[in-house]
Amino acid sequence: MSIPTILLAVLGISILVIVHEGGHYLAARAFGMRVLRFSVGFGPALFRYQPKGSPTVFQICAIPLLAYVQIAGMNPSEEIDPKDPELYPNKGVFARIVTIFAGPFANYLAASLLVFGVALSGWPNAKPSQPMVVATVQPGSPAARAHLRPGDTILRANARNIRDVADLQKVTRSRSGQATEYVVDRNGREITLRITPQRSQDGRGIIGVTARTITEYVPQPIGEAARMAIVTPFQQTVLQLAGMVELAKRRTTEGITGPVGMGKIVAEQAAKGPVEYLLIIMLLSVALGLFNLLPFPALDGGRLMFLGYEVITRRRPNERFEAVVHTVGLLFLLGVLVLVTFRDIVG
């Protein structure tokens, strides 16, 4: 990874957390709450700015990861003046729900805007290459045993011309268990390989290769771009939820990544081009919004659960109990973060 792609990764992740906290900030100010601090990063402050007449100190800190907004009255250790109308606890339950929900909502809104912009400029559409160039060969597959290699161009199979992967599938699917001649071009030389396709679960013959693809960037009409801006974040949410359920079933953290792992992924996509960079930022924005909506202590979803209890019972939960629950949840999340960050670094 080059230094520019690493910087782009840090910038992208930082913008996502700023967007998230910006949602909390704007909602809190809209309901007249006093916001004491909007911090980008942690550690010693390198830059501070407080607009004239504003209660908020905006600061950038030495460790430019994550961000936070300090709303007056949210810290359980603060003394609450019941007559102060700008404190978070003194606002109505609706105002507090919107303020908490605004962070994840801002991430989903950012994801939708990214999809809309990319769709208008050119949405990536991967098509199989012509001719049929092998991209990968599955280890232990019939193709691997016959020494077919990535980069080989399949010209003919069973004496039939092969133009693309569709032609290859037509020939191969009916040849399960039958030795078949595949003529390939390797560095300008024609080579004949005898491959016996194996039977897949659905009864088709397969040899265990994937085709090289060519990515085209197709601008979408504004109506289609608007539809994609709504549908795509929802689809990604469903996929990510399914992934979380699978991880829970397997009782593993293998699919969880921390800031270092996310940075690596973003840097890799940034190296591929601006569209790939923006799309991975979109996916991470959805992931950040979804993660914070999970009904877990210390997350926005956990706070919304307590607010939901207040709506249903029409009485507030015990503040000390809620503070303890969120503290325990925070310590657990920090422990998981340390674990996955260590694994991302050593891995």
pLDDT in tens, 10-53: 888 889 999 999 999 999 999 999 999 999 988 889 999 999 98
- From 211, 235, 255, the end of a domain falls on 211
- 3-state helix, strand and coil shares in percent for the chain, rounded to the nearest 5: 50, 20, 25
Residues 138 and 248 in one domain: no
Options 21, 276, 310, 319, the catalytic residue: 21
What is the domain range of residue 148? 130-211
Percent of the chain with pLDDT strictly greater than 90: 67
Banded pLDDT at 1 (limits 50, 70, 90): low
Report if residue 307 sits inside a domain.
Answer: no
Residues 175 and 49 in one domain: no
**How many CB atoms are located within 10 Å of the residue 334 CB?**
11
Residues 205 and 232 in one domain: no
DSSP secondary-structure letter at 158? T
Beta bridge partners of 180: 195
Residues 170 and 277 in one domain: no
Place of tokens 């009904």: 295
And the tokens for 152?
């080989």
d(CA 273, CA 266): 11
Beta bridge partners of 49: 58
Average pLDDT over the chain, rounded to whole?
91
Residues 162 and 264 in one domain: no
The whole-number average pLDDT for the span 50-66 is 88
Residues near 62 by Cβ (< 8 Å), separated by ≥ 6?
Answer: 41, 42, 43, 44, 45, 46
Q: Which residue has the higher pLDDT, 185 or 256?
A: 185
Residues 187 and 238 in one domain: no
Query: Rg of the Cα trace of the chain?
Result: 27
- Number of structural domains (the chain) is 2
Report if residue 315 sits inside a domain.
Answer: no
Residues 114 and 27 in one domain: yes
Which of 224-228, 245-249, 339-343 is the least confident region? 339-343
Q: What is the pLDDT of residues 118-173, one digit of tens each?
A: 999 999 998 888 999 999 999 999 999 999 999 999 999 999 999 999 999 999 99
Residue 140 main-chain phi, psi, to 5 deg: 80, 0
d(CA 43, CA 337): 18
Residues 91 and 149 in one domain: no
Pick from 268, 262, 258: which is nearest to 337 by CA?
A: 258
Report if residue 328 sits inside a domain.
Answer: no
What is the value of pTM for the model shown? 0.83
Residues 134 and 203 in one domain: yes
Report if residue 323 sits inside a domain.
Answer: no
Residues 41 and 181 in one domain: no
Are 292 and 299 in contact, with CB atoms under 8 Å apart?
Answer: yes
Residues 43 and 67 in one domain: yes
21 noted as active-site residue: yes
